Structure 1
């Protein structure tokens, strides 16, 4: 009896010790992952600064790939967050390709919706902000077969566990509430790798949270080289794409949450001045009449001040001090004025483009043709490296 009790106690102690050890191991793994992530982020920030310096000296060594899903109309969150940065890099002389990711629309949706209208609106917005089709190639996923054919060899280079660990896939899987993911959504990281590698882009502007996505592309490029080899002995088929951490500014919606068409909290680039005023008059502020710039304590007010600062080039704190007792009404009035002034030339150009839809679609078709030429050449190299050129 005593021995039995002793044995039971010992087993319980051992189980508790093992559980404690497991928790400690998990904590240590989390700490190591966090430390590794922070160290990786620091390296990425340092490398981004070095790339910016190199672009300033000689941009000719870079080819950049970026893009958007045509799920809705572009808004000022896109403009201040990424579009201005793309325009800056184009003007700096970086060769740029912009992807209209129409296939990604059906990755997590049951239908395409008014896809042609949205694609045309996307291209119209690109052109209206100053993207120059003579210097920047605008193309659509679905119109470049060789790009999508790269998915097959690339899928042979990744495991299902790697795909499930991808942050976007993981988040979507958790958000489904048990609904099965589509195969296209599961393989989204590989499709993204094909987007980047088909044109041998060596520069991809990303936010900090998107670094793991780019790392998956780098892994695919390395594994292709290791498994299938090279055409030229000293040159891999695919380059190691580098991250250019975005210098764009994050702005929230008019309700203080993430800017999203589904939330009705956006100012779209296509809106009129009156429509913009109507949206901004409904913007959330707070009960304190005296305007101050306090991102932590007054995020909604700070967001409106940030947008005003981006429009004027002024410090948000200085704008707050100027408005002072003018309250939320005074802040909104000021923001409506400066935002409409900022968007006026874009809207004027957009109106011209909307009156010439054939021109807009011709730009896309020309970009598709350029992208197809690049993709066909890359696919030819892939087949040769894999021994499939017959």
Structure 2
């Protein structure tokens, strides 16, 4: 899933174990994609940028096209975990849906739904909270990093229980695989613990909730055009909704350095490497080969090449986006259909949980 921004510390052994499980998941997908159910999603905070696209969206479409059963949650309740002013959530959801469908997420093959429209999902939070302790929640490194990123000193109740809510997101639909970066591994591990403890405490050790696995992303990090983290609020991003001219203008203003010879050096020349990476992802050539082609023609040449490659790559996405913007009612029809399916699944899961817990009267 695609929520936290900071990178908490993960132990080497835990990360290695997660890598091994992720590799096993990839092999399973290659052999029998239809047997895999994937859950992923985003907080609806507005339209998406190329960092989202190259980092997560393109991989979701790849998995969908391979035959993996795909569920995408629009985590609208999670918008209020760390924000005092929530803004136009409906408008943000509409923008998110527009980008989803424009990049190729197909509602005929992918279930797209919202937190707030699936009551039974959220009700699972109560029994799941019985399976964790306050110190465990407070130690979660992703929660601590999000609190710091939000600039808050006191942790709200929703932020504290954020990992448990994510566990409900995954387990309500029996998601087996969650594509994440290294920063999200603490949440996946918390979900695995909750599934294990539920089975042990309430189901006599029999497996009802399977422990999900992380599908670790190998996507390169796309920096903002100022060399910092890409963010719409910082004005350093290229949005999927921008025109070709707006994109070219943004790329022309991208931060570079004074060395005319272009080389791919992510550590020593991150801004140049970022433009090379974007170009590489668009045209399918290595960043090293692109740098060798440009040689001593400087950053100006690189920026022109990057803008042209990006605009050509995004042109069909932007054309679909323009069509979708003309039909906002269709977008919410897609969401209503996804919500209906998610409710059916959540109701079944909650009913079975109540049976297991002896709460059917």
1:50 is aligned, of 19, 24, 46, to: 24
The Cα of 1:50 is off from its aligned counterpart by 2.1
- Aligned residue number for residue 371 of structure 1: 342
Question: Structure 1 stretches of 5 or more lacking a match?
Answer: 1-33
Partners of 1:258 and 1:221 lie apart in 2 by 34
Partners of 2:133 and 2:9 lie apart in 1 by 25
Partners of 2:339 and 2:23 lie apart in 1 by 32
Partners of 1:57 and 1:229 lie apart in 2 by 32
Question: Structure 2 stretches of 5 or more lacking a match?
Answer: 1-7
Partners of 2:91 and 2:197 lie apart in 1 by 39
Q: SS where residue 11 of structure 2 aligns?
A: helix
Partners of 1:277 and 1:36 lie apart in 2 by 38
1:194 is aligned, of 164, 168, 176, to: 168
2:105 is aligned, of 131, 135, 155, to: 131
Partners of 1:173 and 1:54 lie apart in 2 by 36
Q: 1:187 to 1:36 in 2, by over 3 A?
A: closer
C-alpha RMSD of matched pairs (Å): 1.7
Q: 1:151 to 1:35 in 2, by over 3 A?
A: closer
Moved more, 142-151 or 221-230: 221-230
* Aligned counterparts, 1:267-346, within 5 A: 267-346=238-317
Query: 1:12-68: per-residue Cα shift (whole Å, max 9, x none)?
Result: xxxxxxxxxxxxxxxxxxxxxx99921222222222222212211111221100000
Q: 1:240 to 1:382 in 2, by over 3 A?
A: same
1:89 is aligned, of 42, 63, 68, to: 63
Is 2:8 aligned against 1:37? no
2:166/2:191 contact within 8 Å kept: yes
- Aligned residue number for residue 5 of structure 2: none
- Aligned residue number for residue 158 of structure 1: 132
**Could you list the runs of 4 or more consecutive aligned residues of structure 1 that deviate by over 3 angstroms after TM superposition?**
172-179
Q: SS where residue 41 of structure 1 aligns?
A: helix
The Cα of 1:179 is off from its aligned counterpart by 3.3
2:137/2:163 contact within 8 Å kept: yes
Partners of 1:178 and 1:55 lie apart in 2 by 41
2:153 is aligned, of 165, 171, 179, to: 179
Partners of 1:51 and 1:304 lie apart in 2 by 32
Partners of 1:64 and 1:106 lie apart in 2 by 25
Query: 1:283-320: per-residue Cα shift (whole Å, max 9, x none)?
Result: 00001111111111111000100110000110101111
Query: 1:167-217: per-residue Cα shift (whole Å, max 9, x none)?
Result: 122123445666322211111000000000000101111112211110000
More helix by share: 1
Partners of 2:10 and 2:216 lie apart in 1 by 18
Larger Rg: 1
Partners of 1:81 and 1:221 lie apart in 2 by 28
Q: 1:35 to 1:332 in 2, by over 3 A?
A: closer
Q: SS where residue 65 of structure 1 aligns?
A: strand
- Aligned residue number for residue 226 of structure 1: 200
- Aligned residue number for residue 217 of structure 2: 246
- Aligned residue number for residue 208 of structure 1: 182
**TM, length-normalised to structure 2:** 0.95
Q: 1:178 to 1:246 in 2, by over 3 A?
A: closer
Q: How many residues align?
A: 354
2:200/2:206 contact within 8 Å kept: no
1:85/1:247 contact within 8 Å kept: no
2:46/2:91 contact within 8 Å kept: no
